Structure 1
Amino acid sequence: MTEIFVESEFAPLRTVVAAQSEVAIPASVQDSPDMRFLPEDSLRLNPIGQDMRDGAPERQAAWEREREALCAVLARHGVRVLRPRMLTEAEKAAAGDDGYANFFARDPFFTIGNHVIEASMRFRHRRTEVLPMRDIMREQVYPADCGYVAVPMPEIAEPGDPTLGPGPFLEGGDVLVLGEQVLVGVSGLASNALGAQWLAKYLAPHGYTVEVVRLDERILHLDCALGLIRPGLLVVCEQALLDGLPETLRDWRRITVDFDAATRLATNGLPLGPDVYVTDPEFAFLGEKLEDHGVRVEYVDFAITRSLGGSFRCSTQPLLRRN
């Protein structure tokens, strides 16, 4: 039986769900201000309105190699790696013009302590992204000694409503775990205040507190601005945090990155434990600073993954992180 428990962002990673590489970005996003978090050339590099397999097969193959390279690093460090299934033809057809996604494991569900929580996604092309995870839920989560719940489905928005309605929206990329304290990022692009309120209500009887972290409107998720490396050490883009670091983190040593580096996902690396960290060679400057703090750094080229708006943390969702 799989043990389910996530103690913190940096407790030793033991079991993880690693993303597949499957997406059809809807044509409707081309002129949408909601895409302001993406690198400028992203919508030019990646095909719009069709599956990347069909629109850019060589890029698709290279993207899959990035994910396999990450899985190889995880396996080398003794991490048990689970993969979601692929989308079915019926699921793709049901998506219609909204497009579909099965490309970032972090957001459609998340794990806090021994609670597995299905998310409520804001972007329409990601609202069924949890479905390929359901086999993992049946095989790993149902038999385990843990809770398993889902955020309420979002309300239907009025036509033309740029907010996409009141939600609640709550996505795993916005959720950072530090013991019994949980941080939830809110930028207007993903999780919202109602989603954070739901999480606080659900977790309160279990002894957890939830703190909202307001983000710059160009930042998709909290993990695109803040990463907890190990106790007392973090990487942050302070410009992206509208109220500065949460009080509990203000005496931590910090490695800072500028806003441009944050939008290229510099803070979205993956701790495999308090002494090993995975990042992209694009951020060797960050790796060097981490090594000065005694952290071993593993590098994986994740350029295509990053062009789609996520990186190492986005591509993984832990089921077991504990000492």
Structure 2
Amino acid sequence: MLSLNVKNESSRLRAVVLGTAVNNGPTPKAEDAYDPKSLEHILAGTYPVEKDMVAEMDAFNAVFEKYDVKVYRPQIVENENQIFTRDIGFVIDDVFFQANILPDREKEFPAIRYIVDQIDPKKFVHIEDQSIHIEGGDVILWNDYIFIGTYCRPDYSQIKTARTNEKGVEFIRNYFPNKKVIDFDLVKSTTEARDNALHLDCCFQPVGVDKAIIYKDGFCDVEDYEYLRDLFGEENLFHITRQEMYDMNSNVFSIAPDVVVSEMNFTRLNTWLRERGFTVEEIPYAEISKQEGLLRCSTLPLIRD
């Protein structure tokens, strides 16, 4: 049996599901793109190719091996993008939640069923009500807090980049009555990736014990940004620019309170982290980032200390 335990974003990682880029399928048609950044690269002829993405994920896996983390990989589904495991499920405390995701991606979950089958069935939640939407990229844990990105505007159903609704927030709030569940309305765009916070981890993520990376303009309401600023303290925040948000600077991944895996081109962020005592494991991940996802998106943590 797998005894799950995830209470925050940075405690020492022991087991994780890392996605796969093997048999990723051809470049999608423009009309099949899930997000504006993928669309941008499809139209420009710069969409990433499988061999480059496999190499990037191998580099990520090598870091996990270095730190003796147990790594699970999805079973291969032919011609299916299985890189972003964060979207299909997430763990809070000792409970695994199967996400309600875009119908186009429903082939992805059966590929990790062999892992879920190792979990106590009482600790597995499949949200039956299809009107409840929530994806793992919108769920960020910080001990007693659960931060959830959402989109509350009336055009929710028309916005393909809106992935977690108010019903999703309420579901988690009801499931964890003793946690502080805080929701944040995110800026969405289906046409301009520089103005699209696809998930909460595209504009905010805690690192270490008391620090965080944040993009102020990713929040619809300045009060939401100010809430996080006051909670963490201005001096503990690394503010990213619009371009850095587009490059996915907030979507790094913590292996321990003092170890962060980051993209090798994030010079400003990586310097800031090192100046504050973090070990930064730099890897190439710029090709995968063309699909509006990065390191956190590619992982589904199962066990942290």
TM-score grouping bracket, smaller chain normalisation: 0.7 to 0.9
What does the per-residue CA deviation read over 1:281-317, in whole Å, with 9 as the maximum and x for residues that have no partner? 1212100011111111111101121111211000011
Residue 181, structure 1, aligned to residue 181, structure 2: no
SS, match of residue 282 in structure 1: coil
Change (3 A) 1:35 1:181: same
Write the distance in 1 (CA, Å) between the matches of 2:187 and 2:216.
Answer: 10
Q: Distance in 2 between matches of 1:70 and 1:14?
A: 15
Shift in Å at residue 201 of structure 1?
1.8
TM-score scaled to structure 2, two decimals?
Answer: 0.85
Which residue number in structure 2 is paired with residue 16 of structure 1?
A: 16
The structure 2 residue matched to 1:27, chosen from 13, 26, 29, is: 29
Deviation at 1:44, TM superposition (A): 3.5
Given that residues 226 and 235 in structure 1 are in contact (C-alpha distance below 8 angstroms), is that contact kept between their aligned partners in structure 2? yes
Unaligned regions of 5+ residues in structure 1, if any? 48-55, 93-99, 155-166
Q: Over aligned residue pairs, what C-alpha RMSD do you find?
A: 2.2
Aligned residue number for residue 55 of structure 2: 65
Equivalent-residue separation in structure 1 for 2:50 and 2:145 (angstroms): 38
Shift of 1:178: 1.1
The answer to whether the 8 A contact 1:37-1:220 is kept is no
Alignment of 1:44-63 (within 5 A): 44-45=44-45, 59-63=49-53
Task: Check the 8 A contact 1:29/1:35 in 2, yes or no.
Answer: no
- Deviation of residue 250 (structure 1)? 2.0
Secondary structure of the equivalent of 1:169? coil
Q: Is the 8 A contact 1:108 1:118 kept in 2?
A: yes
Asked if 1:208 is matched to 2:188, the reply is no
Report % sequence identity.
Answer: 24
- Please say if 1:114 is aligned against 2:94: yes
- Kept in 1, the 8 Å contact 2:30–2:42? The answer is no
What's the CA shift for 1:226?
0.5
* Counterpart residue type for residue 149 of structure 2: G
Alignment partners' CA distance in 2, 1:246 and 1:194: 24
Q: Which amino acid aligns with 1:172?
A: G
3-state secondary structure, aligned to 1:8: coil
- The SS at the match of 2:86 is coil
- For structure 2, the residue ranges without an aligned partner over 5 or more in a row are 157-161, 189-195
Match of 2:265 among 263, 277, 282: 282
Secondary structure of 1:245's counterpart equals helix
Q: How many residues align?
A: 282
> Which amino acid in the other structure matches residue 61 of structure 1?
K
Deviation at 1:141, TM superposition (A): 1.6
Distance 1:43 1:316, change over 3 A: farther
Distance 1:20 1:320 in 2: 20
Deviation digits for residues 161-198 of structure 1 (CA, Å, limit 9, x no counterpart): xxxxxx32100000001113211101452111111112
User: What whole-Å deviation, never above 9, does each CA across 1:49-88 have from its counterpart, x for those lacking one?
Assistant: xxxxxxx8xx211211110110000110121111110116
> Equivalents in 2 of 1:317, 1:45: separation in Å?
30
Partners of 2:26 and 2:165 lie apart in 1 by 25
Residue number among 294, 300, 304 corresponding to 2:287 in the alignment: 304
| 1:242 partnered with 2:220 | yes
Give the drift of 1:28: 6.1
- 2:68 partner letter: G
Query: Alpha-carbon deviations, 1:100-127, whole Å to 9, x = none?
Result: 5322111100000001000001x33223
Classify 1:236/1:248 alpha carbon distance in 2 versus 1 (closer, same or farther; 3 Å).
closer
Scaled by the length of structure 1, the TM-score of the pair is 0.81
Which range is displaced more, 37-46 or 284-293?
37-46
Q: CA 1:25 to 1:150, structure 2 compared with 1: closer, same or farther past 3 Å?
A: farther
